Amino acid sequence: MIIETDDVAHRRRWIVMPIHSPPGSAGLRSVRAVNGGARPTSPIRSSGSSTKATTLGSKASKLILIVSLEAIFLSIFVMIGQNRQAAFQQAKADHDFSEQELELKTNTELTRQIHLLTTELHRRLLDEPAQ
């Protein structure tokens, strides 16, 4: 779609709006594809005078700026929250690791003591009936 707009100095500009193009093309269809091969002799004009179009463009650009700033701040706050959550998860993982290491050492020591007691019992039980 081709739209003629007027800028502040009332010079004509041609804007080629993007159109979904088939795969393998340049991404934008040319004027020929849009207007059947002829140069645009009567482009679609925006409704209203050029002053209204300029004011509308100014309002639209301000709106785009505000929405962009809002998106930037929102993404900053989301990233801050993710960093806090990651720090909490790391602290929890470190605590769990140290607790599991302590339990593993305790279980290993208990297993060694049980093994010593079992071998002592086997030795006493097997040596006593012979005597």
DSSP 1-47: -EEEEE-TT--EEEEE------TTS-SS--HHHHHTTS--SSPEEPS
Considering only residues 26 and 122, tell me which one the structure prediction assigns the higher pLDDT: 122
Tokens read off for 59: 């309002």
pLDDT score for 104: 97
Contact 28, 19 (CB under 8 A): yes
The answer to whether residue 128 scores a pLDDT higher than 60 is: yes
Whole-prediction pTM: 0.43
pLDDT score for 34: 44
pLDDT score for 29: 45
Contact 43, 91 (CB under 8 A): no
Q: How many CA atoms lie within 13 A of 61 on its CB side?
A: 6
pLDDT score for 57: 77
The answer to whether residue 46 scores a pLDDT higher than 60 is: no
Mean pLDDT of the chain: 75
Considering only residues 12 and 55, tell me which one the structure prediction assigns the higher pLDDT: 55
- Residues 50-105: tens digit of each pLDDT: 555 556 678 889 999 999 999 999 999 999 999 999 999 999 999 999 999 999 99
Name the amino acid, one letter, at 78. Answer: V
**Mean per-residue pLDDT for 5-15?**
49
